[in-house]
Amino acid sequence: MTLRKRHHTFFLVQALVTVTVLTACRSETAEEVESETVVSVKTAVATRGDLQAVIHATGVVTPAPGAELVVVAPEAARIAELPRATGDRVRRGDLLVRFEIPTAAAEVQRQRAEVGRALASLENAKAAQARATALFERGVAARREVEDSNRAVADAEAALAQARASLASSEALANRAIVRASFDGVIARRLHNPGDLVEPTVSDPVLRVVDPRRLEVLASVPVTDATRVEVGASARLVGVETHGAVADLKVASGPAEVEPGTAAVPVRLRFAGPADLPAGTPVQVDIGAELHRNVVLVPAAAVVREGEETFVFVADNGKAQRRAVQIGIAEETRVEIVSGVKAGETVIVEGQVGLPDEAAITTDHEEDAAGGPEPGAAIPKDDAK
């Protein structure tokens, strides 16, 4: 190889080494820049406070016990009179339905005739008793005749008492042909018209009357939460426009038995004031459960879940520290931290998704507190059990 060729080869090798070194330098510089990228986040301070657990349940607005009247025919009958329509208001004592029950009227007449015959028999027995007693006193009749007349009077009195009882029973049945309102209320449903033939079964009702001033919510609580419900605990309607009506409730009865075919137990909730929701309205309710006092609270947005792991990012000296946490009670806006974060530490509430541990951060905005429930959304603390 000539000297010129050797020099040319040397320069080519030197150029390749230079290019490789420059490329490596550039790569290292890019990685260095990428690792030092500062992420803008929003933060909040973990605080201490009280937090009440809430049981979410579905329910339906229904009349309270004694605030509902379902009219059913006393026996197979025809509707003679039905003056009220759905939505009409009624007063106590107003006529609701009058039935035509021919057999009942005939039975009343028959029992009245039986009472008449029993009265006549008693009068005859008493007259015979008087004659036998008078004859016995004069020595004409024997004592046995007097005793027989006494027995006849007693039998006639018993027969009269029985006839009168049968008459009262038949009259009571006949009186059931006229149904009147037992309280002030509203006709919730009218299912028949005058002239209709109806059966004496609950599956063939004529009218349903409810008292709108005495309504409650019948909620279905999951069996797993049944032991957490206490009578007297506070509750609140969720997502229902009440038009100024009071949406607060109280637990009126605890779980008694599991609803057939479900994994829920019925719980009665009484309104704290008048409600303008019609009976049958489906509702969502939040029932206050256990109350945890003076616990560490962070905004719900600060909690990150990845599979079975739950963690929070804490902002410390411009770095994002990933902390595994154990959470307790959680609500829509706040979460109780049992371990992993202390009160006073700053947690990241926005911008932490996908953030690596110890990443450089800058605080774009910092809140002063962990946040709280929306106005009117919390279960009142003073009513908590």
Domain ranges of the chain: 40-51+293-380, 57-66+212-290, 69-99+179-210, 102-176
User: What digits encode the pLDDT tens for the residues 99-145?
Assistant: 988 777 778 888 889 999 999 999 999 998 898 888 888 887 788 88
Query: In 294-353, where does DSSP find H-type helix?
Result: none
The fold adopted by the segment(s) 57-66+212-290 is Elongation Factor Tu (Ef-tu); domain 3 (2.40.30)
Q: How far does the chain reach from its first CA to its final CA, in angstroms?
A: 100
One-letter identity of residue 251:
V
| b/e 293-310 (16+ beta carbons within 10 angstroms → b) | eebbbbbbbbbbeeeeeb
Phi, psi of 304 (to 5 degrees): -115, 135
- Confidence (pLDDT) at 246: 60
CB 39 within 8 A of CB 362: yes
Rg (CA), the chain: 43
Closest of 349, 321, 350 to residue 335, by C-alpha: 349
CA 124, 129, 134, 140 torsion: positive or negative? positive
Closest of 57, 26, 16 to residue 251, by C-alpha: 57
Question: What architecture is domain 102-176?
Answer: Orthogonal Bundle (1.10)
- Confidence (pLDDT) at 296: 96
3 state SS of 8: helix
Locate 100 and state its tokens.
Answer: 């035509």
One-letter identity of residue 9:
T
3 state SS of 20: helix
- Confidence (pLDDT) at 169: 84
132 vs 293: CA distance, rounded Å:
94
Tell me the percentage of the chain whose pLDDT exceeds 90.
Answer: 54
CB 302 within 8 A of CB 347: yes
User: What digits encode the pLDDT tens for the residues 328-338?
Assistant: 998 889 999 99
Q: Does domain 69-99+179-210 have CATH number 2.40.50.100?
A: yes
- Confidence (pLDDT) at 379: 52
113 vs 164: CA distance, rounded Å:
10
Same-fold call for 57-66+212-290 versus 69-99+179-210 = no
Specify burial of residue 269 (Cβ count, 10 A radius: 0-12, 13-18, 19+): buried
How does residue 50 score in pLDDT terms, banded at 50, 70 and 90?
very high
For the segment 156-184, the average pLDDT, to the nearest whole number, is 88
- The counts of H helices and E strands in the chain are 3, 22
Locate 244 and state its tokens.
Answer: 């100024």
| b/e 54-73 (16+ beta carbons within 10 angstroms → b) | bbebebebbbbeebbbebbb
pLDDT score of 381 more than 50: no
191 vs 278: CA distance, rounded Å:
18
310 vs 315: CA distance, rounded Å:
17
One-letter identity of residue 63:
P
How does residue 327 score in pLDDT terms, banded at 50, 70 and 90?
very high
Q: How many CA atoms lie within 13 A of 25 on its CB side?
A: 6
Question: What architecture is domain 40-51+293-380?
Answer: Beta Barrel (2.40)
